[in-house]
Amino acid sequence: MIAYTQAISITCCSQPALEIDLAIKEIFNAQEGEYWAFWKEKKNRSLKGILSPQEGAHKLEYAVWSPLIKENCCVFISNRQDGGHTVIHNISLKLRYEMISVYISSLSDKYPLFNFQYYKYGREIRRIYLMLDSDKWIFYSSGDALDFEDKLSYLRKKVQLRFSGAQIIAYLKALGWNLDIEKFWFSDKSIFFGKQLKFKRVNSTSQT
Domain map (residue ranges) of the chain: 8-207
pLDDT above 60 (res 3): no
Q: Average pLDDT, stretch 150-163?
A: 97
Provide the total of helices (H) and of strands (E) in the chain, helices listed first: 3, 11
Distance of alpha carbon 17 from alpha carbon 22, whole angstroms:
9
- The residue-averaged pLDDT of 113-122 equals 94
pLDDT in tens, 56-110: 667 889 999 999 999 899 999 988 877 788 889 999 999 998 999 999 988 778 8
Distance CA 128, CA 143 (A): 9
pTM of structure: 0.88
SS3 of residue 4 by DSSP: strand
Contact between 98 and 126 (Cβ < 8 Å): no
User: Is pLDDT larger for residue 101 or for residue 29?
Assistant: 101
Reduced to 3 states (helix: H, G, I; strand: E, B; else coil), residue 6 is: coil
The 10s digit of each residue's pLDDT in 137-154 is 999 999 999 999 999 999
